[in-house]
Structures are given as C-alpha cells and as structure tokens.
Amino acid sequence: MSDSFDKQPDDHSDRDAASLRVLALFFVILGGLVLVGTLWSDDNLRAIVVNMGSGTILVAVGFGMFAVARRISGRTGEQSHPHQPASADEDEITNHK
C-alpha cells in the first residue's frame, strides 16, 4: 500500500509543449489572416489601425507561445527517462544477464 505513495507524478511537459505549439500555430495563422484582411479596409483609417494592432498582437503572442513551448520541451530533453538506458553499453550489459 505504501508503494502507491512512492510513485513520482507523471511529467506532462512534452504533452504541454505540443499543445502549446498547436495553440501558437492557431494564433499565428489567425493574426496573419487579420493582417491580410487589413488590405480590404484601405479606406477606413480606424479599421486599418485596429486590424494592424490586433493582427500584430496575435502574431506576437503566437510566437511567444512557440518560444515557451520550445523552452518547455528543451527542459524535458535534459532529463533522462528511467526506462531508457543511459548508453548502448549499459543496454548490452542488462540484456546479457
């Protein structure tokens, strides 16, 4: 019964980074579409300002989310997983026993 308390919690960083990348891609595409949509509002100055501002902010947030996802996935790459052998020599030693 005490074994269940000794388990380490699962590391969800890889899954979180992948989800963040998908969401970041959505923001970048949406911001790009808003910026492209600005071309059809060339006679209204207020619409141009609002579209340029919101499109730029969406793209910036998307790229910021890409940076955070890269940082999260870089952190998980440094940690070694307990079920993977550290080297090929160690793998050979454990298989020949």
Surface-to-core class of residue 8, CB atoms within 10 Å of its CB (0-12 exposed, 13-18 middle, 19+ buried): exposed
What is the residue extent of each domain of the chain?
24-75
More confident residue, 74 or 64: 64
DSSP letter, residue 43: T
pLDDT at 13: 84
Does this model's pTM top 0.85? My answer is: no
Model confidence at 5, in pLDDT bands (50, 70, 90)?
low
Mean pLDDT rounded to a whole number for the chain: 79
Instruction: Give the tens place of pLDDT for each residue, 8-61.
Output: 556 788 888 999 999 999 999 999 999 999 988 878 899 899 999 999 999 999
Give the position of tokens 């919690």.
9
**Is the Cα dihedral 3, 5, 10, 11 positive or negative?**
negative
